[in-house]
């Protein structure tokens, strides 16, 4: 079992809708969590980081962290075709990152 | 800032050959990471360095893999001898202590071993 599990997807949403991505982790020592976006054939790009329980908003993106439930999520509001990508969830309790398998999101125009 | 620079971008080689991948981290960053990404296994950490010193190489799959960081601005990942199952995209990333482990990835090297 991977340390970080993501809902497998793929996820298809219409343009303008909310895309919801979920992630659970097994290492209770994990303190930092990240969402990376990876376009096909490209490298992972950091879009959100979250370190404490609650919500963190950045533009159309909202990350949520619940350490008691060992759960991290990412909401993408007003989804755009340019949001079509694979989203990787990662957790860390030191300087190592453990990545989930990724969720592929397709935004239909 | 030029970001993390990797070379070559693509490498095609034959089984049994030696392969060397190169990475230049972001200037001033003191952590460097090597990852491998495949469809089957996703993104896996192979090894990481702090201040040029290898800290954790538990992800290195076999003795055929080795990594060095002779100075703060250069690292290599070597596979000798290469095998078809080594075909993957290899990423290098760097981070700065105190930036809460935000890692910046290079463009990657796509390796094909025939």
What's the confidence (pLDDT) of residue A31? 87
Q: What is the mean pLDDT of each run of 10 residues along chain B (114 residues)?
A: 92 97 96 96 94 94 95 97 97 88 94 97
Q: For tokens 């250069």, name the residue.
A: B74
State residue B1's pLDDT score: 64
Summarize the confidence of residues A74-85 as an average pLDDT.
97
- Of the listed ranges A24-33, A83-92, B2-11, B41-50, the one predicted with least confidence: A24-33
> Which of B31, B104, B105 has its CB closest to that of A95?
B31
**Which pair of tokens denotes residue B102?**
């935000």
Q: Which among A44, A96, A100 has CB closest to B105?
A: A44
What pLDDT is stored for residue A8 in this prediction? 67
Q: Please state, in angstroms and rounded to a whole number, the distance separating the CA atoms of residues B99 and B103.
A: 9
Q: Do residue B91 and residue A44 have CB atoms under 8 angstroms apart?
A: yes
Q: Is the pLDDT of residue A1 over 70?
A: no
Are the beta carbons of A43 and B91 separated by less than 8 Å? yes
- Measure in Å the smallest separation between the Cα of A18 and chain B Cα atoms: 26
8 Å CB contact of A99 and B43:
yes
- For B103, the closest of A2, A97, A101 (CB atoms) is A97
How many degrees, rounded to 5, is the angle at CA A102 between CA A40 and CA A106?
Answer: 55
B19-24 vs B74-79, strand pairing mode: antiparallel
Query: Residue B28: left (phi > 0), alpha (psi -120 to 50), or beta?
Result: left
Mean pLDDT computed over every residue of chain A: 93
Q: In chain B, which residues touch A (CB < 8 A)?
A: 31, 33, 42-45, 48, 50, 55-56, 91, 95, 97, 100-108
Contact yes or no for B15/B84 (Cβ under 8 A): yes
| pLDDT value of residue A38 | 98
Instruction: Find the CB nearest A101 among B42, B97, B100.
Output: B42
**pLDDT higher than 80, residue A2:** no
Mean of pLDDT values over A62-90:
96
Q: How many CB atoms lie within 10 A of CB A82?
A: 8
Mean pLDDT within A80-104: 93
pLDDT over 80 at A55, yes or no: yes
Q: Are B94 and B101 in contact (CB under 8 A)?
A: no
Length of chain A, please?
Answer: 109
Nearest CA in chain B to A92: B101
Q: Are A15 and A3 spatial neighbours (Cβ–Cβ below 8 Å)?
A: no
Average pLDDT over residues A88-100: 90
Give every CB contact of residue A64 below 8 A, 6+ residues apart in sequence: A50, A54, A55, A56, A71, A72, A73, A74, A75
Give the SS3 label for residue B18: coil
Rounded to whole angstroms, the Cα distance separating B8 from B23 reads: 9
Residues of A in contact with B97 (CB under 8 A): 95
């Amino acid at each position: 079992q991977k340390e970080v599990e993501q809902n497998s997807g793929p996820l298809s949403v219409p343009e303008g809708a909310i895309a919801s991505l979920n992630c659970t982790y097994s290492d209770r020592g994990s303190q930092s969590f990240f969402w990376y976006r990876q376009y096909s054939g490209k490298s992972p790009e950091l879009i959100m980081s979250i370190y404490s329980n609650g919500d963190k908003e950045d533009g159309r993106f909202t990350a949520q962290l619940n350490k008691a439930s060992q759960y991290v999520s990412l909401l993408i509001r007003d989804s755009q075709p340019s949001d079509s990508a694979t989203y990787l969830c990662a957790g860390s309790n030191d300087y190592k990152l453990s990545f989930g398998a990724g969720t592929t999101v397709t935004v239909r125009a | 800032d030029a970001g993390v620079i990797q070379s070559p971008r693509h490498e095609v080689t034959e089984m049994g050959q030696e392969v060397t991948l190169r990475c230049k981290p972001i200037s001033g960053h003191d952590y460097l990471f090597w990852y491998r990404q495949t469809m089957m296994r996703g993104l896996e950490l192979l090894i990481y360095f702090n201040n040029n010193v290898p800290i954790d190489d538990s992800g290195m799959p076999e003795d055929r893999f080795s990594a060095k960081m002779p100075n703060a601005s250069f690292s290599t990942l070597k596979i000798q001898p290469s095998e078809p199952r080594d075909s993957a995209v290899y990423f290098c990333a760097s981070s700065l202590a105190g930036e809460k482990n935000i890692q910046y990835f290079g463009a990657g090297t796509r390796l094909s071993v025939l």
